[in-house]
Structure 1
Amino acid sequence: MTAYWIAHVTITDPEAYAGYREQAATAFARYGAEFLARGGAFETLEGPTLQRHVVIRFPDLASARACYDSPEYQEARRRREGAAETQLVIVEGL
């Protein structure tokens, strides 16, 4: 069953965040991630407004979690520290 990462992000340091994106791409490729939404136009209907919204599909929940726990993604997270405010959830699909 598919699984999704759903992230809401406000970038505070675009230069440092670029390092995160570069490193995270390695993990995403390794675990079969497919971006369904990444930035783009949006409208906040309820709750706080963050500037970016990302939805990533994975083949299954185990792959989504393994990607997050991977050394590649953990290194990307370290590069993102101080560069963005992030809320990230993993959700199992239907």
Structure 2
Amino acid sequence: MTKGYWVGLVDVSDLETYKAYVRENAIAFKKYDARFLIRGGKVEKVEGAPRSRVVVIEFPSCQTALECYRSPEYQKAKALRDNVSTADLVVVEGYDGLQPGQGS
């Protein structure tokens, strides 16, 4: 089964309230077997206009990633984030095809 991912670009205006969101979102992420691949960290702009935080979260499937986002647990957490951050978030299906050098 192909994994699913949340890819988020986020600017935070109130770090203390955002910390409450982080504590609350752990409930949904645990329930839906989420795993952080990128969570903040140093960002170097090479193209475009990134936000200050980059987050990539892996889920067992794209369907699971969508279910997590739509869940009451995550929506409760999201309500804490809505007024203290600006975010671009997409749910994307992983890729299981050929990689460079593996043939045609």
Q: TM-score, normalised by structure 1?
A: 0.96
Aligned residue identity for 1:68: Y
Unaligned runs of 5+ in 1: none
Q: Choose 1 or 2 for highest CA Rg.
A: 2
Q: How does 1:1-94 map to 2 (within 5 A)?
A: 1-94=2-95
Aligned residue identity for 1:17: Y
Q: Deviations over 1:2-41 (max 9, x none)?
A: 0110000111001111111111110000001000011111
Unaligned runs of 5+ in 2: 96-104
User: How much identity, in percent, do the aligned residues show?
Assistant: 44
Runs of 4+ in 1 over 6 A off after TM superposition: none
Q: TM-score, normalised by structure 2?
A: 0.87
Q: Report deviation, 1:49.
A: 3.0
**Alpha-carbon distance in 2 for matches of 1:48, 1:82:** 21
- Tell me how many residue pairs correspond in the alignment: 94
Aligned residue identity for 1:75: K
Aligned residue identity for 1:88: L
Aligned residue identity for 1:15: E
Q: Report deviation, 1:57.
A: 0.4
Taking only aligned residues, the RMSD between alpha carbons, in angstroms, comes to 0.8
